[in-house]
């Protein structure tokens, strides 16, 4: 079900989700993406470079945050532009897990282009981990 331009307003919340990440998830992402940097699976290496421990791939966080927007848009192909800044690492404990909170709000509407800019707040325990997280979604 595609979203239409007329039903949207700037400031409107369009998606909200919590995504849980644990070490097994990071191993799965490493394999799927080909990013085998050991700071994403090896505590010894992570602490040696000054991190609190293993952290999630920034690109995993970016990818996971896109899911709720894609579901809302109704078509993953409607995401025509997607950008983020990586502002804070996401530590992933073992044992245990980390919960990433995603809130998506309409930031701007471009009627001529038929697109909406969706601004994402992506946070762990209330602290933002991505900055300038914006997806441009083509509307029907």
Q: How far is the CB of 101 from another protein (least distance, A)?
A: 14
Among 66, 90, 120, 122, binds another protein (CB under 8 A): 66
| Binding segment toward another protein, per CB under 8 A, in 4-12, 69-77, 90-98, 109-117 | 69-77
Tell the burial category of 1 from Cβ atoms under 10 Å away from its Cβ (0-12, 13-18, 19+): exposed
Contact 65, 15 (CB under 8 A): no
- Is residue 75 at the binding interface for another protein, with CB under 8 A as the rule? yes
Distance of closest approach, residue 97 Cβ to another protein, in angstroms: 13
- Among 83, 93, 108, 114, indicate the residue that binds another protein (CB under 8 A): 83
Contact stretch for another protein (CB under 8 A) within 8-16, 80-88, 90-98, 109-117: 80-88
Q: How far is the CB of 7 from another protein (least distance, A)?
A: 19
Exposure string (b/e) for 72-91, b if CB count within 10 Å is 16 or more? bbeeeebbeebebeeebbbe
Rounded CA-CA distance 94/23 in Å is 7
Concatenated DSSP letters for 3-72?
PPGGG--TT-EEEEEEEEE-HHHHHHHHHHHT---GGGT-HHHHHHTT-SS-B--HHHHHHHHHHHHHHH
Least distance in Å: CB of 43 to another protein? 16
Binding mask 23-62 for another protein (x = CB under 8 A): --x--xx-xxxxx-x-----------x--------xxx-x
């Amino acid at each position: 079900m595609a979203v239409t331009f007329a039903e949207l307003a700037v400031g409107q919340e369009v998606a909200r989700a919590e995504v849980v990440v644990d070490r097994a998830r990071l191993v799965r992402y490493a394999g799927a993406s080909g990013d085998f940097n050991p700071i994403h699976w090896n505590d010894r290496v992570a602490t040696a470079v000054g991190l609190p421990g293993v952290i999630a791939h920034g690109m995993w966080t970016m990818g996971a945050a896109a899911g709720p927007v894609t579901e809302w848009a109704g078509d993953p192909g409607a995401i025509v532009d997607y950008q983020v800044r990586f502002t804070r690492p996401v530590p992933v404990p073992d044992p245990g897990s980390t919960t990433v909170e995603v809130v998506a709000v309409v930031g701007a509407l471009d009627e001529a282009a038929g697109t909406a800019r969706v601004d994402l707040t992506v946070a762990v325990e209330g602290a933002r981990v991505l900055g300038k997280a914006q997806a441009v979604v083509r509307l029907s």
